[in-house]
Structure 1
Amino acid sequence: MKNIVKLVAIVFLFQSFQCEEDRGDRNKKGQFEKLQNEKQEILDYIASVPCDETSGCNFIAFGSKPCGGPWEYLVYSNAIDINLLTNLVNNYNSDEAQYNELYNIYSDCTVVDPPENIECIDGICSIIQ
């Protein structure tokens, strides 16, 4: 009888560790999906404000590489509400930095240079190579 009780206790112990891992995976996945939703919200907002020759275009550093610096630069029309865009991007960058630290995310450490030439082409701000 004592052996059965010990066996049952060991099984429950192993299951409790498994649940913690599953919960951690779900949290990681949920936070990743939240980041993807935030990113899409920002991209949709940028796309909703067309540029023209008078408004011009600009860029903003986007994302947070684990080694530091942005993943990319987003280009946008100067007709956009820059304060709102800056707040959205800063929140995203902060959330991604926290995610990277919490889940020990790693990446290459290459530096992404800001765009040198941006133009408004058919109402869309574009990086010219």
Structure 2
Amino acid sequence: MNAKLLSLATIIAATSFISTPVAADEQLAQSICSYVAADSKNNLRKTLADNRLRLRNVYDGIVCDGLPLVRHAIKHNAADAAGFIISQLPGSQVAASGDVEWAASNGFGASPIIAAIKERSAS
């Protein structure tokens, strides 16, 4: 009986250690998504700095409403936040993202963010 209780306690303890960072990561990602949608470049920058994160290192892991950060910014016309995001990513990653084509095919071809993407892709 004690062995079963010990096993259950071990599983509960292990689960709590595993789920806490995931919840924190989800909350952080949600904050980043909301700052992008609100076009709050300063809050986005502060959140990344406070958590000692480089955008280029976490960009691929953040999805907002099923979209990568730049596309989320395009959808919400968040030019300042998008400009910051684009400036933090390698030009090759921006060029290979397909964001310009996505924007054109989804009715966002006239977005001023497209010019920033094209400029960064060229560098």
TM-score, structure 2 length as denominator? 0.42
- Point out the structure with max Rg over C-alpha: 1
Higher helix share: 2
Higher RCO, 1 vs 2 (CA within 8 Å, ≥6 residues apart): 1
Higher strand share: 1
